Structure 1
Amino acid sequence: MEIHNRGSIRGNLWSRLIGHQSDLQGNSNKMDRVKAANDTIGRNVSQMKVNMENIEQAEMDNAEELDDLRERLEEMKEKAIEAQCRSMKYNLIFSGIVESPWDANGHGEDSEKVVKTFIRDKLEMEDADDIQMANVHRIGKRDRSTGATPRPIIVKFVFFKDLTKVKMSTRKLAGTSFGVNEQFPKEIEEKRKDL
């Protein structure tokens, strides 16, 4: 019976050993899968680091490019203001001149005729009709309700000498509600107000 028990114990131990070996093999397989997953995670993390470095570099490049674009935009604004100044060099703005109502046909006043009359009568320039004007019109929205505040008239002179003569005569407007001023771009006007 002892032999039989020994064989049975051996068989039992053998099957337990086989079971443990199978468990060890299963654990080894699990460890291999964990190691493979860990390696994959490591590669992914490394790739993410590279991607982050690339993104950071792209952000720095974009920031530099944005700074360059801002600089170029400022240069373009300055050049546009210079061009506006040059195009406005021949312009004067007349303010305070009463605005005539529209006629029955919806036609307004002849702004050039109004300005020339103003120059002749208020600035006392007899040769007002000889002054050549390229463009004359009122600026701003017309106040249809009261018409109390007349819109300014902008005049583009053909010859700078005519503009200069008119400017020199504006001293005669001292103490009146009339004004004659040079036209400047909005940015320049704002800077002049600050001074």
Structure 2
Amino acid sequence: MSDFMDNFKVNHENNVKDVRSVKSSISKVANDLADNTLELRNEIKTVVNNAKQENENLQSTVIDLQCRSMKNNLVFTGLTETEGENTEEVIRDFIQQFLHVTHRIEFGNIPRFGYGAKPGRRGRHRPIVARFLYYKDLARSLSNTYRLKGKPFGVNQQCPDIIEQAHKSLYQIMKQKREEGHTVKLVRDILYVDGEMYNDHISEIEPTDSLTSQN
């Protein structure tokens, strides 16, 4: 009987040790799994952040290339479209009559684009985009757009849609700052007030040497 109890005690102690060993192994596996899961999550987060940054860099590069390709383009709005018109002559006459730039300007393509009223119909007519061969002619024409105040025409530098949307969100701020007597300047989609960047609206896109619109 004594031997039986001794054997039982030994077996019991061995079983307890085995259970403890199994628990320890399970705990170690669980800890390793938790560590691996955290490490995997961190790796996934890093990959996602890197991909996001690369995408933002790519988008910025594309926008910059678009801005550069449009640098010599002006968009004219409010000009009546007629059947069989010569858009180059339309723009030349407009620049001479309303912007008072009388020297001959050399152009590239001058098409109408987008949607609008058909020739001879009422409604907003399609805008015209004119490509200036010489930037100084564009700058001279744009600097005289103050003469269009109160008239149903508009002249602006062509820019990518994302920049145009940023402009729309800034127009009200620009108007308010002008009324307060400040000097405002818009470089791509970054607003400067009295020569300082307007901190309440900072773009993620860095400015380049693209045309500055100033009023």
* TM over 0.5, shorter chain: yes
CA deviation profile, 1:66-87 (whole Å, cap 9, x unmatched): 1122222222323333322222
Q: Which has the higher contact order (CA 8 A, sep 6+)?
A: 1
3-state SS of paired residue (1:134) = coil
Q: Deviations over 1:97-120 (max 9, x none)?
A: 01124xxxxxx5332232122223
Q: 2:167: which partner in 1?
A: 189
Native 8 Å contact 2:74 2:130 kept in 1: yes
Name the structure 1 match of 2:127.
Answer: 152
Unpaired segments ≥5 residues, structure 1: 1-35, 102-107
Amino acid in structure 1 at the alignment position of 2:73: N
Q: Give the AA of the match of 2:154.
A: G
Q: Percent identity?
A: 27
Deviation at 1:177, TM superposition (A): 1.0
Q: Distance in 2 between matches of 1:137 and 1:162?
A: 18
Partner of 1:59: 41
Q: CA deviation at 1:136?
A: 1.6
The partner residue of 2:85 within 109, 116, 119 is 109
Q: Match for residue 69 of structure 2? A: 87
Superposition TM-score, scaled by structure 2 size? 0.57
Query: Whose helix proportion is higher, 1 or 2?
Result: 1
Aligned residue pairs: how many?
Answer: 162
Which is worse superposed, 89-98 or 184-193? 184-193
Q: CA RMSD in A?
A: 3.6
Unaligned runs of 5+ in 2: 1-17, 175-215
Q: What SS is found at the alignment partner of 1:177?
A: coil
- TM-score, normalised via structure 1 length: 0.62
Structure possessing the higher radius of gyration over alpha carbons: 1
Amino acid at match of 1:131: I
Partner residue in 1 for 2:139: 164
* One-letter amino acid matched to 1:67: N
1:49 and 1:109, CA in 2 relative to 1: closer, same or farther beyond 3 A? farther
Q: SS of the counterpart of 1:93?
A: strand
